[in-house]
Amino acid sequence: MSGPERLALPGEVAERIARARRVVVFSGAGVSRESGLDTFRGAGGLWERMRPEELATPEAFQRDPDRVWRWYAWRFQHVAEAAPNPAHLAFARWQELFPSILVVTQNVDSLHRRAGSRRLVELHGSLATVFCQRCGRRRPMAQAVAASPASAPRCECGGLLRPGVVWFGEALPVAALEEALEEAGRADLFVSAGTSATVYPAAGLIEVAWRAGACVIEVNPEPTPFTRLAALRLAAPAGQAVPELTAAIERCRAQAG
């Protein structure tokens, strides 16, 4: 496979990148698309065949726990078989370029962590663990799915076990959201990659960063409601665009000395 195409950064963006110290990467399901995982919206997306309110809500779980459990067990199997793609790996390598970089993801697939990103905020939780609705006790999803692939398992206390993700209508983990908001409000560079930027309060981070003066870069084959705020838009799949952007950043920081 040929190396990354030579991406020419607009002068003003190159300037900002050369000086950038505080960097936030904000990612969505599109970044995991090239790991073989479906996005939520857009062609072939998960939600195309079902509506979010049907499955990713506390009411849906209340109404039919086994059906919701089976959907998450199915997604968990796919995630377990998936591997980080060049976009996840490039973002992990940015830790050498920007030591304090923070990756804020809406994804629940742990692929940024598996790629090596250390400073990571999972705004919508993670498929890796389940917890008991009654006593809160957490345990690995792998163990719960192995024990009960087709129906929502119960805790020793009798409570139902549920995936450790944030459902629609549920509050995001407070510490995670606070850290994401604080870092977005201080970022020199904010890269929004693979997200339709339609789910709140996560999507609000883009504007928080822009208002605070960050240089915003968007990586998405499609436009989003926040494309207008981007100083640079890479309208290409993340698996191709992020390695190209990485090479351009390395060149630009080497020139800046």
Rg (CA), the chain: 19
Q: Is 132 in the site for Zn ion (CB under 5 A)?
A: yes
Strand partners for 190: 24, 216
Closest approach of ligand BV8 to the CB of residue 18, in Å: 25
Phi and psi at residue 192, to the nearest 5°? -100, 115
Closest approach of ligand BV8 to the CB of residue 144, in Å: 16
Rank residues 41 and 251 by Cβ distance to ligand BV8 and give the closer one. 41
Place of tokens 């970022």: 187
Q: Is 53 in the site for ligand BV8 (CB under 6 A)?
A: no
Size of the site for Zn ion (CB under 5 A): 7
- Which part of the chain contacts Zn ion (CB under 5 A), choosing from 43-51, 115-123, 150-158, 227-235? 150-158
Edge-to-edge order in the sheet of strand 161-165: 138-140, 125-132, 161-165
Interactions with Zn ion, residue window 154-193 (CB under 5 A)? 155, 157, 159
DSSP codes, 188-233: SEEEEES--S-STTTTHHHHHHHHTTPEEEEE-SS--TTGGG-SEE
Here the tokens at position 205 are 């981070």
- Which part of the chain contacts ligand BV8 (CB under 6 A), choosing from 1-9, 22-30, 146-154, 208-216? 22-30
Strand partners for 103: 25, 120
- Which part of the chain contacts ligand BV8 (CB under 6 A), choosing from 14-22, 24-32, 134-142, 243-251? 24-32
Closest CA to 220 of 83, 90, 87: 87
- Residues found near ligand BV8 in the complex (CB under 6 A): 28-30, 33-34, 39-42, 45, 56, 106-108, 124, 165-171, 194-196, 198-201, 219-222, 224, 237-238
- Residues found near Zn ion in the complex (CB under 5 A): 132, 134-135, 137, 155, 157, 159
